[in-house]
Structure 1
């Protein structure tokens, strides 16, 4: 294993941004930057040994700071996914957030964690990124300290270990928002790639993606991905433009690190597993990505990539029956998510 640090340019307000490049013994490379704690690239070989970059992104800081950026590769927070009407109540106090996705608050607000320059340091073969979010930022209570450590091993596992503490009771839901295409990020539709998600239920939402509070069974519906299914097989039957739903993962115990999803690409032979301690995974088929100019001039479009966003359920603060996203002083938030890459056949 090796990690190399290099410059990735500067933000519009002059802050230096660094890139960290991981490489393992089997030809896999990953690059992350400390702007948004973002995964910029993941290169892995196919069954013939030919490498390709599997994640959508940009060549430079101009792209990552542009309005065209749909959270490519970023850490989303303080609250990933949606909060209905941008409001929640904590210990009898109502808090108001930015409305930035239809009628809802999304991914932490106008300037969420994805738009912050994190402190970063190499620690052995890993990179630890740290962010302080002050009390009241984007409407959230409490000063929050977040750590996210990236590491890569020779088994093809890109591991994300999160932790956080607060000085005042708050809510927290973090995720990585990488857009994957196992044929290569610029390879077009992912409809023929095969997905299996270890979830018997999903979170019902209305047409504004606002959760109703009901967890519905997937069995017998277009939402059933419990057995290997081409992404495009029933996507036309799915609510809205296609898959953009939280799947409630089957867990033997709360906080268990378990297999959430497997995706394979029959053409290249590449396979990806998502493992997580989180209770849910948002499967999103890039339904709103249209004519985004990315790395090397590639044009990314609808359903030409997919996201597996390991996280808590959307709008959990407004649904007491959902797993809690509250964090109090003296407690430590932890999460581990692993994206594991290899080949089959």
Structure 2
């Protein structure tokens, strides 16, 4: 048996095109750790260019490109293979390329053997941090191997569709969580399923019952501003965009203006013996009301002002008390108008203003 084949047997490398010479083993300090490094070569004449598919007669050798690839440890030593891959130049399309090998995936520095070792350890009851220490890789690498290798069993006879709508509702007292979780098809408006618990681990377990390929087909997830739904979408639906539904956006803007009003109202609590404070507090519903729904004509007696005023006149008096309240009110009404007229560009311009009140930001 040749020296090169012996090294390949030790490292469990099956690629016939990888060659090791004598004196290929050295000890180096890599990332502060003394490690064993095997120097090898990958050299094979390709049949054609992978870019333009021209025959090998138009391909010339173009030096080497080296990469340091981590493999399973040997005798408790962190072990690497410094693999020099032959680089080629296609004279027709002028592109360069290197050979692929089953030993390591393209653009990876972790060998497939080490990935298999991590995948095997993932089947046992131990944490990802413990596995990362045993395999001498990062916790992120362990997680990537889990995503790449793990395919959950398909539990459901139906498939997920392109548009999903999430929401919660109060169902029955016997459910574990305070709210139940409902899933609706965004295109047909048909009910898909109801879960008794809206908490993130329960929802995540449910959707893990669908294959990754099925979850990748989901393009949009429509939900409210509940943070776990946004986290869930990013984690389980890699190709999906989060769409915040109109109802909850309007609700958020309304509550934001209410917070601003209360903050300003409390600042004016001791001004004019609290008269301004009491007036703003008393007519809070008028400030929340859409400007287009105000009564401009009919006047009513308002004891706080000791005169007859229409809703519009009353509003104007309230806004004269504070410039910040006026600015917040104007932005609030403009956002409402953007929703009412379905003016997307106006809405985007408003929420992207640098001077936008912090309370309005999502």
Instruction: Give the TM-score normalised by structure 2.
Output: 0.19
Bigger RCO (CA 8 Å, 6+ sep): 1
Structure with more of its chain in strand, by fraction: 1
